[in-house]
Structure 1
Amino acid sequence: MIEQLTADPYPLLARLRATEPVAWLPELDGWLVTRHDLALRVMRDAAAFTVDDPRFSTARVVGPSMLSLDGGEHTRHRTPFARHFRPREIEDRFAGFVRAECARLVDGFAAAGRAELRRALAGPLSVAVVAGALGLDDTDTARVLAWYDAIVSTVDDISAGRPPGSRGGEAFGELRAHIEGAVGRRSLLTEAAETLALPEVVSNAAVLMFGGIETTEGMIANVLLHLLREPAPLDRALVPAAIEESLRLEPAAAVVDRYATRDVSLAGASITRGDLVTVSLTAANRDPAVFPDPDVFDPRRPNLRRQLAFAHGPHFCLGADLARLETRIAVETVLDRLPGLALAEPAAASGLVFRKPAAVHARWLTS
Structure 2
Amino acid sequence: METVAQLETDPHPTLAAIRPIGWVDALDAWVVTGRALAIQVLRDPETFTVDDPRFSTAQVVGPSMLSLDGTPHKTHRDPFESPFTLAETRRRFTQPVQQTVNTLMHAIQQTAATGSDPTAPGASRLSADLRPTLAGPLSVAVVALSLGLPPASADTVLGWYTAISASVSGISAGQRATADGAAAFAELHKHVAAGIDSSDSLLATAAHAGLGIDEVVANAAVLMFGGIETTEGMITNALWHLLTHPDQLALVRADPTLLPNAMEESLRLEPAAAVVDRYATRDIELPGAKIRRGDMVTVSLAGAGRDPETFPAPDTFDVRRTNARRHLAFASGPHICLGMHLTRLETLTALEAVLNLPGLELSPGSPPPHGLVFRKPTALHVTWDA
Give the alignment's TM-score, normalised by structure 2. Answer: 0.92
Within the alignment, does 1:130 sit opposite 2:143 as a pair? yes
Q: Does the CA contact (< 8 Å) of 2:51 and 2:68 recur in 1?
A: yes
- The C-alpha deviation readout for 1:265-310, integer Å capped at 9, x for no partner, is 0113111111110011111101111101111111111111210000
Within the alignment, does 1:282 sit opposite 2:302 as a pair? yes
Distance 2:337 2:381 in 1: 29
Any residues of structure 2 matched to 1:19-38 within 5 Å, and which? 21-38=20-37
Q: Does the CA contact (< 8 Å) of 2:22 and 2:288 recur in 1?
A: no
| Counterpart code for 2:207 | A
Distance 1:76 1:193 in 2: 12
Within the alignment, does 1:241 sit opposite 2:255 as a pair? no
Q: Does the CA contact (< 8 Å) of 1:241 and 1:304 recur in 2?
A: yes
Alignment match, 1:297: 317
Alignment match of 2:228 (pick from 200, 203, 213): 213
Alignment match of 1:174 (pick from 163, 181, 187): 187
Distance 1:137 1:285 in 2: 37
Alignment match, 1:191: 205
- The C-alpha deviation readout for 1:181-230, integer Å capped at 9, x for no partner, is 01111211010001211111000000110011122111111111111112
Alignment match, 1:86: 85
Distance 2:288 2:382 in 1: 47
Question: Shift of residue 133 of structure 1?
Answer: 1.6
Distance 1:294 1:137 in 2: 43
Distance 2:87 2:176 in 1: 43
Runs of 4+ in 1 over 4 A off after TM superposition: none
Q: Does the CA contact (< 8 Å) of 1:49 and 1:259 recur in 2?
A: yes
| Counterpart code for 1:344 | S
Once the two structures are overlaid, the 10-residue window that deviates more, 202-211 or 226-235, is 226-235
Distance 2:274 2:77 in 1: 22
Alignment match, 1:108: 107
Distance 1:345 1:334 in 2: 18
Within the alignment, does 1:314 sit opposite 2:334 as a pair? yes
Q: Does the CA contact (< 8 Å) of 1:4 and 1:12 recur in 2?
A: no
Distance 1:254 1:221 in 2: 14
Please give the secondary structure, in 1, of the residue aligned with 2:131. helix
Within the alignment, does 1:71 sit opposite 2:70 as a pair? yes
Alignment match of 2:378 (pick from 355, 358, 361): 358
Q: Does the CA contact (< 8 Å) of 1:311 and 1:317 recur in 2?
A: yes
Question: Shift of residue 22 of structure 1?
Answer: 2.1
Question: Shift of residue 123 of structure 1?
Answer: 0.2
Within the alignment, does 1:223 sit opposite 2:238 as a pair? yes
Structure 1 alignment gaps of length 5 or more: none
Structure 2 alignment gaps of length 5 or more: 113-125
Within the alignment, does 1:342 sit opposite 2:355 as a pair? no
Within the alignment, does 1:264 sit opposite 2:264 as a pair? no
Question: Shift of residue 137 of structure 1?
Answer: 4.9
Question: Shift of residue 351 of structure 1?
Answer: 0.6
Q: Does the CA contact (< 8 Å) of 2:60 and 2:164 recur in 1?
A: yes
| Counterpart code for 2:38 | A
Question: Shift of residue 136 of structure 1?
Answer: 2.3
Distance 1:280 1:85 in 2: 25
Give the alignment's TM-score, normalised by structure 1. Answer: 0.97
- The C-alpha deviation readout for 1:88-123, integer Å capped at 9, x for no partner, is 111111110010110110111224221101111000
What is the CA RMSD across the aligned residues, in angstroms?
1.1
